[in-house]
Chain A
């Protein structure tokens, strides 16, 4: 079973935003939003959909509106910065 089989219908721009914010590491972002680095990695890779609260926390870290960080792309075709 490949990772693609678990792709969620929500894409995100977290990877790009991290690098635009001083090459912020996943661990730094995780610390700021109160999650583990593994969870940030899973969100970034499109393997896990965060709660609305966590999504807003992430957007707030980057100072962007929610829809600039997460985008609905339809069932089973999620793309992230890392997979584009």
Chain B
């Protein structure tokens, strides 16, 4: 597995774990998605995301050859470009869908959480697309 495929897996695992905890807590009713509790949990999740990504990337660096990490070659550039295109269109669709909770009368903090969820989902789509393309060969 190349360093960049490992990096995509790290993104999937860390983003899913950290923001899954945040949105899971809101969805299950442990916090109400607004106020100090929500902000505190969001801050903890964001810091955890940075720490988990940093730690896992250190492991990936140690277990990958230097040639893998040296530079992106043309295939990797194409895969990354295609994954960001898919992620962009995913984000566009999700942004348009924000109209649904907007029309249902959700509060501003709830709408901000929906916006954050859109960004998280688009990030996951980018990373998952990279994994699929790396596995497929390009």
Contacts and interface: CB of A to CB of B under 8 A. Distances in A.
B is a partner of A: yes
Nearest to A49: B138
A61 interface: no
Interface residues of B, number: 14
Q: Chain B contact residues: over half helix, strand or loop, or mixed?
A: helix
Q: Chain A contact residues: over half helix, strand or loop, or mixed?
A: helix
B137 A31 contact: no
Interface string A8-31: 000000000000000000010011
Given A36-B73, A38-B75, A54-B74, 12 more contacts: A6-B136, A6-B137, A27-B65, A27-B67, A34-B71, A36-B67, A36-B68, A38-B2, A38-B68, A41-B137, A50-B74, A50-B75
Interface of A: 3, 6, 27, 30-31, 34-39, 41-42, 45, 47-48, 50-51, 54
